[in-house]
Amino acid sequence: MSRKDAVVDLGLRPSDGPLRTVFDILHTLFGKVVSLSVLTLLLESAGHTVTNAATTPGTAITATRTDIDFQDAGIDSVRLVVRAKNSTTTDLIIQAYNTTTSAVVASATIDTTESTEQTVVGSWTVLVPNGGDEDIEVRVISVNGTEDPTLYSVHLQMRTVQARA
């Protein structure tokens, strides 16, 4: 069995019989099952300060760079969950950036109040996996290039919602 084969393919209904009855009851009770996983890209209790965060394309935090095969994992949507504060009262954008495809995977905008830590949950973004390892890193984008945001945690939540046939 390769890594890409399903361990248990719950998308296929069994033929008539007692197992199909159980399957139909579980489907009625729980609906479509969604798998969820979390990839922690940054976790620092004291905070990671980005000095003079750049405007577009932003400041890359290279220590957060990691490889992931979205297609192999069956991931079809992602979002960022960020805990951070900014040094000013301007908005701040945190991104999970794919350096392999030069595209933003997910982002979260922090509508900041000076020096107030907050947790922000970005919107779910549909993802079309390219197949193979993709290089992901965290980028911080400031409005004017003079903010010094502090990031405490950045998590990439990933889920599979597509029906498996």
pLDDT at 6: 46
In angstroms, the Cα distances linking 105 to 18, 85, 156 are 43, 22, 9
Domain parsing of the chain, residue ranges:
34-160
Cα 37 from chain centroid (whole Å): 9
Question: What class is the 34-160 domain?
Answer: mainly beta
Q: State which H helix or E strand residue 68 sits in.
A: strand 59-68
pLDDT of res. 40:
96
Residue environment code for 120-131, b if the CB has 16+ CB neighbours within 10 A, otherwise e: bebeeeebeeee
Mean pLDDT for back-to-back runs of 10 residues, the chain (165 residues):
48 76 75 78 94 89 93 89 88 91 90 77 90 92 86 93 55
The predicted structure's pLDDT at residue 137: 95
Check residue 112 and give its pLDDT.
64
pLDDT at res. 7:
45
